[in-house]
Structure 1
Amino acid sequence: MRNIIVGTLLMVANLAVASESKPQLLRQDYISTTTELKRQYFVYLPDGYKEGDEKKWPLMLFLHGNGERGNGLSELGHVLKHGPLYEAWIQKRNLPFIIVAPQLPMFDFDKRGIGYIDNRTNDSIPKRLANGTPPRPEHFISKEKMNGVSQADMTNVPPLFPLGWEQVEHDVMTILAGVKSTFNVDQKKVYLTGLSYGGVGTWYLASKYPKEFAAIAPVVGWGHPSLMAPIAKHQLPIWQFAGGRDSAVQLQYFYQGVNELERLGHKIRFTIHADMEHDTWTRVYSGQDLYQWLLTYEKSVLGAS
């Protein structure tokens, strides 16, 4: 559990930026205030990025799902399995963002009999090929019929999933601050997105730091109504995604949060992929619409917290 340490996160001296203009995937060292251990996170630098260049780049902070937890060192590569980092590095798409991707500690989830964690090996980490790209995984298969659902009663539903991104809140925000100060970041174009556990984490960080981001995109992770007031107050642009056949994070739990935002006077964009299972993220991140939508928003640097 979190061991709160006064002061900022110790950033280790691995923040040197290479001067090449080809896409780069860097591993950056830090000491976690949660675990008090050395860990690493990914920083992806897009095609055309150069040290010392006057060009500033949009930044995307990505929070992965439950199955990609790890020790932040030998297991960090699991973060490459899904999301914008998979698209940019493994599928070699030219996404015009600096992408920051930390890894959530295991917190003993590997001792709970969860098949998709227990049965994984580092051989399952996707590899960037010298030539071409690997085939994309098949979509999840569902036997459920497409069907609309009523909203769930959230009265007794906890606002967060167990041992999620809130546990490393200070680590993540200090990593973000370090990247913003070290790399050529457009301070007005800082975005947040995440899938599943990371989608819930996206809502949580947006609620705690609504001035930090120009826009957010939680994917197959619902936002609890108790988190919505700060987001509505700051009119943070949001595009929420859900899967109509999602058996892991069910559609019925998405409605109360977005309806609470509307009650508070904040309109958001909410897309339900009625035909998709929990891996709705594969369609969302493999498309172009989300990235184009994010880039239409800027924040006030003076108002950033």
Structure 2
Amino acid sequence: MRPLLKIMAILPFLFLSCNSDDSMPQNNQNDLESLPEDLGGTHKANVLGANDINFGYYIYTPSEHNNSSNAYPLLVFLHGSGERGNSEADPAILKKVLVNGPPKLIEKNEWSPKYPMIVASPQLPSGNWIPEDIHNFITYLIANYNINTKRIYLTGLSLGAFGSFNYISNYGSEAYAAAIIPIAGGGNKNSGDKFTTVPVWAFHGDNDNIVSHNNSIDMIDAINKENPNTPAKLTIYPNVGHNSWARTYDNSGMGDESNDYDAFNMNIYDWLFLFEKK
């Protein structure tokens, strides 16, 4: 082959190589594609004291969870301060975890991620989310449900957002979470180096007079200063108060975000599915 023809032959491959998007995760999603369709699963209450863990919890399992050997992604949802309660003393109080986020969508039959997921929603009896308790809770879930340990995700609102940030601040790359979505929260801005392998997409309203959006700004800035494998993202809603989570969890806030921060340009659950633990 003539030299000029050889160069022309390899040009397409050079072009493809130079134009690949190295910023996006290149994971294989065959494990997700092979999951059976969720035709409507079970959302079960487990009161405090029924198991050897520190929480009562609701757990959603897809319709084929018990009928197949497939391992499912897990989403752990951490509620806010208003949903705390001791379900050992009063089993009905566990229903408080259903008022927001993914468990609310499940109860309203509005839960339809692209791929089926197990959703666990623990309830704090009192106090704050403790990283060790979150870690032990996930360890318990792994032992008792068909969970894909490469695809464990964490999200929380307000107090739960602080819990999500603090979990990674404490465990770093040893955390179970492959990615997190904290909403209307904040954390330890001196722990940015703990997030280098854990993607973060935070959300906040700029008119939040309970938890200032500066808390999220400070955390995302601190993380990105450490050059994480995946740059941390922050979406801010203009003229929105503390409840910035409803529009985030149902994805209805797309298009309402500030142009000065990261765009809300994809379904948050699809974003989570981009990531898996190595």
TM-score above 0.5: yes
Residues in 2 aligned to 1:245 and 1:97: alpha-carbon distance in whole angstroms: 33
CA deviation string 1:46-82 (max 9, x = no partner): 2x33314022211001100011010133311000000
5 Å matches for 1:231-242?
A: 231-232=195-196, 235-242=197-204
CA RMSD of aligned residues (A): 2.0
Are the counterparts in 1 of residues 70 and 146 from structure 2 also a CA contact under 8 Å?
yes
Quick one: higher RCO (CA 8 Å, sep 6+), 1 or 2? Answer: 1
Alignment match, 2:21: none
Alignment match, 2:42: 24
Are the counterparts in 1 of residues 202 and 216 from structure 2 also a CA contact under 8 Å?
no
5 Å matches for 1:36-115?
A: 40-46=56-62, 48-72=63-87, 73-95=91-113, 96-106=116-126
Is 1:289–2:253 an aligned residue pair?
Answer: no
Counterpart residue type for residue 84 of structure 2: R
What secondary structure is seen at the aligned counterpart in 2 of 1:186?
strand
Alignment match, 1:223: 187
5 Å matches for 1:175-254?
A: 175-210=137-172, 211=174, 212-232=176-196, 235-254=197-216
**TM-aligned CA deviation for residue 21 of structure 1:** 6.4
Residues in 2 aligned to 1:260 and 1:279: alpha-carbon distance in whole angstroms: 24
Counterpart residue type for residue 94 of structure 1: S
Are the counterparts in 1 of residues 75 and 154 from structure 2 also a CA contact under 8 Å?
yes
Residues in 2 aligned to 1:174 and 1:253: alpha-carbon distance in whole angstroms: 27
Mark the structure with the bigger radius of gyration.
2
CA deviation string 1:193-242 (max 9, x = no partner): 0000000000011122233111001011112212322123xx21110111
Alignment match, 1:130: none
Is 1:268–2:246 an aligned residue pair?
Answer: no
What secondary structure is seen at the aligned counterpart in 2 of 1:209?
helix
Are the counterparts in 2 of residues 223 and 258 from structure 1 also a CA contact under 8 Å?
no
Residues in 2 aligned to 1:164 and 1:189: alpha-carbon distance in whole angstroms: 25
**TM-aligned CA deviation for residue 99 of structure 1:** 0.6
Residues in 2 aligned to 1:226 and 1:292: alpha-carbon distance in whole angstroms: 29
TM-score by length of 2: 0.72
Equivalent pairs, count: 215
Residues in 2 aligned to 1:263 and 1:21: alpha-carbon distance in whole angstroms: 43
Residues in 1 aligned to 2:225 and 2:132: alpha-carbon distance in whole angstroms: 31
Counterpart residue type for residue 201 of structure 1: G
Give percent identity, aligned residues only.
29
Residues in 2 aligned to 1:182 and 1:30: alpha-carbon distance in whole angstroms: 11
Are the counterparts in 1 of residues 97 and 121 from structure 2 also a CA contact under 8 Å?
yes
TM-score by length of 1: 0.66
Unaligned 5+ segments in structure 2 are 1-37, 252-265
Are the counterparts in 2 of residues 195 and 281 from structure 1 also a CA contact under 8 Å?
yes
